[in-house]
Amino acid sequence: MTSAHMEAALMLAGVLFMLGLISVLIRRNIIFMLISVEIMLNAAGLAFIVAGTKWVQPDGQVMFIFILTMAAAEVSVGLALILQIYHQLKTLDSDAANLMKG
Amino acid sequence: MELTFYIAAAVATLATIMTITRYNIIHALLYLVVSFLAVAVVFFTLGAPFMAALEIIIYAGAIVVLIIFVIMMLNLTHEDVEHEKAWLTPKVWVGPAILSAVLLAELAYIILSPDTLPTEALVAVDARVVGLSLYGPYMLGVQLCGILLMAGIVGAYHLGRQKKKVVHRFLQPKEERSAAI
């Protein structure tokens, strides 16, 4: 038995997701965009755990583990891409990466 | 216990707001660690202590440290902070912030309206049940996660490798050729 209520926890997930969404929309720095995606994934995992706790099923936490795995794989590939972009363009501005030239 | 949840939720929200408004990436990452720790406390109060531990180890430990390592490799200077300051003007962030706030208001209306969800206290799920489910019905998902991690490792290695540029000496620009000789 826990004391937190479902609405409050779901609202927290929604607020965190909205903050991540705002950040990914307003930032031009690619690393900040990656961090914002992490915030959004974390908020989605929080919503999964709240739902799993609500219906007393383990599926929510299983999904959180999957999200965790995906976030780890995503951040490693994303950081490798950021390193490549920085070496090619000498900047972190996402607007500079508008040419599909190798 | 309920007060713990609300305090942790407030800390998580404030730390995330600080994360998305910082100009310096390192400062933003430190606030991000605080945000993840607060969310871990929320998990704990929701009755998922194993997930709280995973959140601290993987998010606040591994992922943030990985990003910090990459930032150290990029050699960012004071100029980048100035760039960030020039990019993040109110003209840029007001529009998306208002639209996202409208979406959040709609979400809040749906969540908080009394007929969608019954209001009752939550019940904790045991970590043992999660493990049994993970290695029972979700076996295929675990194997797919393994494949995904393998693809992530190979992809990161392939993309992060610095290719050495080899140019024939006849194709080099003149001054470089004379310098090489």
Cα–Cα dist A40/B144, whole Å: 22
**Mean pLDDT confidence for A60-70:** 93
Cα–Cα dist A67/A57, whole Å: 17
Q: Is the ipTM of this complex over 0.95?
A: no
- Which pLDDT belongs to residue A1? 42
- Which pLDDT belongs to residue A87? 85
Contact between chains at B121 and A5 (C-beta distance less than 8 A) = yes
pLDDT level of residue B120 (50, 70, 90 thresholds): low
- Which pLDDT belongs to residue A93? 84
Contact between chains at B156 and A76 (C-beta distance less than 8 A) = yes
Tell me whether residue A42 is exposed, middle or buried, using C-beta atoms within 10 angstroms of its C-beta: 0 to 12, 13 to 18, 19 or more.
Answer: buried
Tell me whether residue A16 is exposed, middle or buried, using C-beta atoms within 10 angstroms of its C-beta: 0 to 12, 13 to 18, 19 or more.
Answer: buried
Helical residues (DSSP H) of chain A, grouped into ranges:
6-26, 30-54, 59-89
pLDDT level of residue B178 (50, 70, 90 thresholds): low
**Is the predicted pLDDT of residue B24 greater than 70, yes or no?**
yes
**Mean pLDDT confidence for B13-29:** 92
**Mean pLDDT confidence for B70-94:** 84
**Mean pLDDT confidence for B19-38:** 93
Q: What percent of chain B has pLDDT over 70?
A: 90
**Mean pLDDT confidence for B166-180:** 68
Report the b/e string of B104-135 with b at 16+ CB within 10 A: beebeeebeeeeeeeeeebeebebeebeebbe
Q: How far is B176 from chain A (nearest CA, A)?
A: 21
Chain-centroid distance of CA B9 in Å reads 17
Q: How far apart are the first and last CA of chain B?
A: 75
For B56, other C-beta atoms within 10 Å of its C-beta total 17
Residue/partner pairs of A7-11 with CB below 8 Å, 24 or more apart: A7/B111, A7/B112, A7/B117, A7/B119, A8/B5, A8/B6, A8/B9, A9/A46, A9/A50, A9/B5, A9/B9, A9/B42, A9/B46, A9/B122, A10/A47, A10/A50, A10/B111, A11/B108, A11/B111, A11/B112
For B42, other C-beta atoms within 10 Å of its C-beta total 29
**Is the predicted pLDDT of residue B36 greater than 70, yes or no?**
yes
Are the beta carbons of A79 and B66 closer than 8 angstroms? yes
Distances (CA, A) of B30 to A59, A91, B60, B161, B179: 31, 23, 9, 28, 46
Q: How far is A101 from chain B (nearest CA, A)?
A: 15
**Mean pLDDT confidence for B12-17:** 95
**Mean pLDDT confidence for A61-81:** 93
Most confident region among A1-10, A40-49, B161-170 by mean pLDDT: A40-49
- Which pLDDT belongs to residue A28? 87
Residue/partner pairs of B139-148 with CB below 8 Å, 24 or more apart: B141/A62, B141/A66, B145/A65, B145/A66, B145/A69, B145/A70, B148/A69, B148/A70, B148/A73
Chain-centroid distance of CA A46 in Å reads 11
Q: List pLDDT tens digits, range B48-59.
A: 899 999 999 999
Q: How far is A36 from chain B (nearest CA, A)?
A: 8
**Mean pLDDT confidence for B14-35:** 93
Interface of A with B in 7-66 (CB under 8 A): 7-12, 14-16, 18-23, 25-29, 31-32, 34-36, 38-39, 42, 46, 49-50, 52-54, 56-62, 64-66
Average pLDDT, chain B: 86
